[in-house]
Chains A and B, each alone.
Chain A
Amino acid sequence: MASSPYFSLAVLFVAALGFGLTPLGLAWLWGRVFSPAKPNAVKNAIYECGLESRGDAWMQFRSAYYLYAIIFLIFDVEAVFLLPFAVAFTGLGAAACVAMLVFVLMLIEGLAWAWAKGVLTWA
């Protein structure tokens, strides 16, 4: 058995297992012998920010929030793509420029749609 090439690996595996399990076992033993458990309703509460939790966590969000996602895409993500476009502008070919214009036009279309829908009006 000791001649097996995997013997040292097995020894290391057992040592690693012991290294992890011994502190856990000692802690468990310590808890059993010395520290009495004193659970109560306040201690076992799920929310741990000092306040009592209210209601159900399984609530529904309005799907109307997709409007904000679209506006975010238009104004924020567009800027992320426009910046490298502006930096590399002088070195670009006609095909790249057209591709970028199509991209911007698509986003402008979204903006026009949002505008028509009245999303931009602060009410």
Chain B
Amino acid sequence: MAVDEGLKIELGKQGVFVTTIEELYNWGRRSSIWPMQFGLACCAIEMIATTMARYDLARFGAEVFRPSPRQADLMIISGTVTKKMAPQVVRLYNQMAEPRYVIAMGACAISGGPFKQGYNVLKGIDRYIPVDVHIPGCPPRPEALLQAFMTLQKKIDGQPLTGPDRPRFLDAEAQGEFPVPVQGEHDLEPTSNPGVWTVPVVIR
């Protein structure tokens, strides 16, 4: 039961504010995304810079970096995820209260980046957890992280409360636990979570 946009603007001019629960809910959520205080590598320095006075992440209501996953809404994967660190990242993601979002910051978090050939580097965190926004760059500038925040806010704004398109955290059937990989003999086991990532087929 959405109110016509034009009518809404017209009513707004007259001082009448019309909204829906869904809009109000999404407005509240997107205006208070609390990231987790969690830095992995060099990208974390750019993340810190983003929170400081010059770039001022507080403008987006996201300056409250929480040291506990229970209080955080957003996980910024800021840097290279080594295979030693990946289980901890996935476990922390599991411990975050829903709704939870993930920004993969930088080339390393997306694909392994310049360290892709390394035997100890995970080739992208989206192998284990669903990533909402990817920011390329090595490292991405603070402006790029702000852009990612705005992209995430747009995404949150478009999430319906009910219906088949509703996000995962509102769906009782959807997967709630993401298996934490364990250190195997040669690699992490499993090497990826088929629920969130499909192994690409190499065509030669």
Contacts and interface: CB of A to CB of B under 8 A. Distances in A.
Interaction A to B: yes
Interface of A: 34-36, 38, 40, 42-43, 45, 48, 50-52
A27 to B, nearest CB: 11
A43 B87 CA distance: 14
Contacts, number: 39
Given A48-B68, A48-B69, A36 B171 contact: yes
Contacts of B105: none
Contacts of B176: 38, 40, 43
Given A43-B177, A48-B68, A38 B98 contact: yes
Interface of B: 68-70, 87-89, 91-92, 94-95, 98, 161, 169-172, 176-177, 180
Contacts of A43: 94-95, 176-177
- Scoring B91, B169, B172 by chain A CB atoms within 10 A of each residue's CB, the highest score goes to B91
B80 to A, nearest CB: 16
A42 B91 contact: yes
A14 B91 CA distance: 43
Contact of B170 (A34, A50, A52): A34
7 contacts: A35-B98, A40-B176, A42-B91, A42-B95, A42-B177, A42-B180, A48-B69
B89 A50 contact: yes
Contacts of B161: 34
Instruction: Give the top 5 A-B pairs by smallest Cβ distance, nearest first.
Output: A38-B176, A50-B88, A36-B172, A42-B94, A40-B177
